[in-house]
């Protein structure tokens, strides 16, 4: 049992295809029998009459790492606010898997259902060692503690060690989080999210404020997580996006509250509408 391998998503959230076979999906599980982890359809959010999201439709496959780019004010953060329950849409559907209607759930329930969100500013416990930050984050994963009380210590330790390795902070385990560089803090916060074994991770401009080296270390970390959880990454740094998307992953371009284009990075870069509204000539 561990937090960051291929089995992590399955053993915690029981990503199941059983619904397709006619079985009920147990409470707290995510039914991804159709291969979709996130389904957003025709979502509109208005602020004083201004449509921050305007009929946004977007789906994310299980295990997919999707980069979302687009100009300031395109609605990228608002989209994440809707998915995490921070903002209620005026209209539209938002589902986690086939069955979990996120528009009917509050923020804590959505987090417990398996959606982890990384905000731009790192929020780690500065006065605590790196190791303890991960331990505290794991304690928020109540189901896990309850079900494994018997061999708690050994498993907990293994999970923390594995996460330390994933986020590249093994050598810093005993340092206070407050002493870490900005990039290391960002990786620690991602580690803390991983301790709760999310099925879907939302990252809003994770590379902002990072040095080039830190940015590439982050790209490597997210690349390592590929397949263990689904990820939606909003980012302006095109080198970072290129490193994550590679030649094959889908990239979504948002503008004016909706999807302007979707395709490989090469495809969207050649899209006339994208050049016009975002990339420039
Ligand atoms: N709580 C709010 N009240 C009023 N307007 C809002 C609110 N939140 C967002 N907006 C507006 O909605 C639009 C979309 O904002 P959003 O933050 O989602 O864009 P974004 O794509 O994340 O932009 P950026 O790349 O600058 O982060 C903007 O015009 C913003 O001013
Ligand atoms: Mg934003």
CA of 241 to the centre of ligand 1 (A): 21
Model pLDDT for residues 197-256, shown as the tens digit of each residue: 999 999 999 999 999 999 999 999 999 999 899 999 999 999 999 999 999 899 999 999
Is there an atom of ligand 1 within 6 Å of 127 CB?
Answer: no
CA of 204 to the centre of ligand 1 (A): 13
Any idea which ligand is nearest the CA of 45? 1
Strands 251-255, 65-69: parallel, antiparallel or unpaired by DSSP?
Answer: parallel
Whether the pLDDT of residue 13 is over 50: the answer is no
Q: Which DSSP state fits 16?
A: B
The architecture of the domain spanning 62-88+104-279 is 3-Layer(aba) Sandwich (3.40)
Q: Is 63 in the pocket of ligand 1 (CB under 6 A)?
A: no
Sheet bearing 36-47, strands edge to edge: 50-61, 36-47, 91-96, 100-101
74 CB within 6 A, ligand 1: yes
17-21 long-range contacts (CB < 8 A, ≥24 apart) are 19/98, 19/99
Rounded CA gap, 146 and 187, in Å?
27
Report the Cα 225 to chain-centroid distance in Å: 11
Residue 69 CA to ligand 2 centre (angstroms): 10
Residue 25 pLDDT greater than 50, yes or no = no
Ligand 1 and 49: CB distance under 6 A: no
- Cα dihedral 153, 154, 158, 161, rounded to 10, equals 60
The residue nearest atom 3 of ligand 1, judged by CA position, is: 47
Structure tokens at 90: 């005026």
Q: From the CA of 210, how far away is ligand 2's center (Å)? A: 17
For 69-125, write each residue's pLDDT tens digit: 999 999 999 999 999 999 999 999 999 999 999 999 999 999 999 999 997 777 899
155 alpha carbon – ligand 1 mean position (Å): 42
Nearest residue to 74 via CA among 204, 200, 183: 204
User: Is residue 240 a contact partner of residue 207, using CB atoms and an 8 Å limit?
Assistant: yes
**Per-residue pLDDT tens digits for 121-167:** 778 999 999 999 998 888 766 555 555 554 557 778 899 999 999 99
pLDDT score at 140: 65
Q: Which of 47, 87, 277 to mutate to test the pocket of ligand 1 (most atoms within 8 A of CB)?
A: 47
- Distance, CA of 251 to CA of 145 (rounded, Å): 37
């Amino acid at each position: 049992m561990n937090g960051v391998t291929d089995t992590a998503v399955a053993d915690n959230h029981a990503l199941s295809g059983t619904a397709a076979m006619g079985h009920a999906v147990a409470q707290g599980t995510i039914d991804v029998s159709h291969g979709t982890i996130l389904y957003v359809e025709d979502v509109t959010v208005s602020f004083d009459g201004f449509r921050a999201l305007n009929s946004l439709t977007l789906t994310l496959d299980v295990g997919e790492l999707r980069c979302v780019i687009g100009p300031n004010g395109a609605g990228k953060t608002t989209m994440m606010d809707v998915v995490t329950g921070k903002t209620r849409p005026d209209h539209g559907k938002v589902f986690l898997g086939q069955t979990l209607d996120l528009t009917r759930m509050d923020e804590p329930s959505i987090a417990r259902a398996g959606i982890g969100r990384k905000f731009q500013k790192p929020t780690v416990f500065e006065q605590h060692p790196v190791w303890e930050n991960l331990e505290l984050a794991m304690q928020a994963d109540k189901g896990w503690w309850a079900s494994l009380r018997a061999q708690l210590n050994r498993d907990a330790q293994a999970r923390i060690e594995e996460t330390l390795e994933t986020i590249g902070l093994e050598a810093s385990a005993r340092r206070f989080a407050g002493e870490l560089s900005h990039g290391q803090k960002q990786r620690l916060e991602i580690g803390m999210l991983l301790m709760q074994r999310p099925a879907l991770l939302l990252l809003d401009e994770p590379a902002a404020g990072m040095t080039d080296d830190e940015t590439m270390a982050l790209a490597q970390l997210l690349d390592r997580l590929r397949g263990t959880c689904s990820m939606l990454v909003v980012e302006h740094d095109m080198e970072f996006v290129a490193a994550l998307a590679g030649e094959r992953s889908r990239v979504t371009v948002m503008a004016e509250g909706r999807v302007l284009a979707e395709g490989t990075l090469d495809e969207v870069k050649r899209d006339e509408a994208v050049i016009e509204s975002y990339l420039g000539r």
